[in-house]
Amino acid sequence: MEQKLARLKAILGEVADLNHVAALLGWDQQTYMPPGGAEARGYHLATISRLAHEKFTSDEVGVLLEDLKKETRGLAPDSDEARLVKIAARDHEKSIRVPPEFVAEFAQATTKAHEAWVEARRNSDFAAFRPHLEKILELQKRYISFFPPADHPYDTLLDNFEPGMKTAEVKEIFDTLRPKQVELLQAITSSAQVDDSFLHQAFPEKEQWDFGVDVITKFGYDWTRGRQDKTAHPFTTSFSINDVRITTRFMEEFLPSALFGTMHEAGHGMYEQGVSQAYERTPLADGASLAVHESQSRMWENLVGRSIPFWEHFYPGLQERFPAQLGNVDLQTFYKGINKVEPSLIRVEADEATYNMHIMLRLELEIDMVEGNLEIKDLPEAWNAKMEEYLGVLPPNDAQGVLQDIHWSGGMMGYFSTYALGNLISVQLWEKIGQAIPDLPEQIRQGKFDALLGWLRENIHQYGRKYEPQELVQKVTGSKITPEPYLRYLQSKYNDIYGL
């Protein structure tokens, strides 16, 4: 068994290398690549993606996995070896259904679509992006056709981001969540609104950058194994456990954008940096799922970064950087301002009470597209209708509406629900952390995050992709993903801010 396992790890390592090269090319495309390089980059990514796919789906890997599935039955089911074989076999069984030619075509199509999206968003021109999105939807439907019929065709896409999760499960969770959030929103909108006008003025980019760097350095983001760059849409990517990169974007007239975006991406980055070094160059060297990943980013952004203990420590330093803008704004006014609840157009800038509504809207649109009930040409109108229905706001243009997210240009259908699920997981974990570290608010007040990061390293990060998401959440919290803790958190927080 040892010899076969060593051979499997060697091949998986080469596959990981190729995938990380593709990720590096993707990072460069979104940060430094000139627009004229898009066509060539499409070929680069198509070739690399096809080579990785062919290597992973080879007959040799199939034989090794079949042998090792039998030979690891005597091992403890939670051993690294048994889990590696289980996860690799699952990935292999999915990958062999997908032709290499399709993988290359998908890489080329999404590379072109990304550049088209950047330009279309800049010009608020959905018509320019429409043929690319039509191509991606057609590719997604072909991808679904490679697999046996599921309970719902969307299950096949969802499984790529949330392994083991079903569309029906997500709908059930959202059906519980939606009326409670609507009820909370109605209570808030009938209360006196808080003032956040001081956040809408000029905040020089360099000072924003420097403050954000100071914050995430204290969080524990390791700069010897990471870096930060600017991009149109913030993201995190990794080329190794020891090379995890984050990006952010700045709005000089609105402080929270980069402020909380930097914290958010650092949460993703610290997760990737915390995976066990033993998993390097294996399929285990990743997050358990996108929802678990999102739980980490939303925890640092919201449960830490929007809390009063956090700002009791950091606000004097922020005032020193922006004395003209914030010198006369007291702590309580600032705290309420950054937690203002107001239905808005842009998901990434949305407050905690309305954020999930943005996600539910996108999930419903994706399901309609996959089911064939919504044509791409009608997407902007459908988007606007749901924005008005769910949030009471109407996008004035497509840049602030249907074109605002990067995900569809990258072919990431099946992704959006993980954002809301991550919110729920973050508070389930936070309740457990509070029991384990009862003086955590005081530690945060002192600018100390070692115990918090240490708990996450021990209970979440180190495991990488070893456990499926529901399995990991159950293991750590004693419950599968559930909305109740998150609803309690929102109610308590906004009772205080809005005097409900």
* Residues 259 and 212 sit within 8 Å (Cβ to Cβ): yes
Residue 245: phi, psi to the nearest 5? Answer: -115, 140
Sheet bearing 243-248, strands edge to edge: 226-230, 243-248, 236-240
251 in helix, strand or coil?
Answer: coil
Rounded distance between C-alpha atoms, residue 387 and residue 381, angstroms = 10
18-51 as b/e, with b when 16 or more CB fall inside 10 Å? bbbbbbbbbbebbeebeeeebeebbebbbebbbb
- Our CA angle for 488, 483, 258, nearest 5°, is 80
| Residue written as token pair 């290359």 | 104
DSSP 287-344: -S-HHHHHHHHHIIIIIITTSHHHHHHHHHHHHHHSHHHHTT--HHHHHHHHT-----
- Is 162 an annotated catalytic residue? no
Q: Of the listed 115, 265, 294, 366, which one is catalytic?
A: 265
H/E segment holding residue 230:
strand 226-230
Cα 134 off chain centre by: 24
Q: Show the tokens assigned to 195.
A: 């003032």
Radius of gyration of the chain (CA): 23
Question: Which of the 8 DSSP states describes residue 166?
Answer: -
377 in helix, strand or coil?
Answer: helix
Neighbours of 182 (CB within 10 A): 12
Catalytic residues: 265
